[in-house]
Amino acid sequence: MSASKPAETSLYAPVKAFLEAQGFTVKGEIGGCDLVAIRGDEPPMLVIAELKLSFTLELVLQAVDRLRAADLLYLAVLGRRRGRDQDRRVHRLCRLLGVGLLIVDPRLGTITVVAEPGPYRPRPDHPRRKRLLKEHKMRRGDPAVGGSSRQPLMTAYRQRALACAAAMREGPRRPRDLRPLAEDAGAILLRNVYGWFERVDKGLYRLTAEGEKAASAA
């Protein structure tokens, strides 16, 4: 017989013990909050924890609502091997919101802290920022409709490759012939990312059948 599914209440005792170890007095189900913990007198530090079996949008919305009343806020979820609690994007979201994230194992009574509550400023991703700026600058016009995912993305690189292919419909070309269209024409022909080009002689390329098809459809 399979084990019964854990209840949200099974998370309460481990989270309560976690906060009591930090000197908080913990009580459950106050004002619609799963757990409220108080430490100190004037003014007291107030901590709210919401308990869920999985990380959901509803849990995030609860966090946004509870943040206005709490000094610190924790979201506690059941640990799962393939759950959203393992997703690094979820961890970053919690940090961005300033919310703590606790992974609970009710069977062992253990808590894993994957995000601490409090103000957070994400570390800048300079390489990605550089790639975005470069692609935006090099893309000609606005050929890709935002939200489309079921067709080849019209990147700046693809635009340059198509320009080379269009010019080669008249016959084989050398990279230097195509540099007015694409400064990196030599690399485009050599790498042949899309399978559009083939070398017919040293430094001389022509279109493949796929290249001809792509150029005629552009």
Q: pLDDT (tens digit, 9 = 90+) per residue, 54-82? A: 888 998 998 888 888 888 999 999 887 77
What is the pLDDT at residue 185? 95
3-state secondary structure of 182: coil
CB within 8 Å of 38: residues ≥ 6 apart: 24, 25, 44, 45, 46, 47
- Report phi then psi at 104, rounded to 5: -110, 135
d(CA 205, CA 88): 45
DSSP letter for each residue of 60-109: HHHHHHHTTT-SEEEEEEE--TTSGGG-HHHHHHHHHHT-EEEEEETTTT
* Cis preceding linkage at 43, omega within 30: yes
d(CA 70, CA 120): 16
Q: Which stretches of the chain drop beneath a pLDDT of 70?
A: 1-5, 83, 120-122, 146-150
Domains of the chain: 8-115 (3.40.1350), 153-218 (1.10.10.10)
pTM here is 0.59
What is the pLDDT at residue 179? 94
What is the pLDDT at residue 150? 67
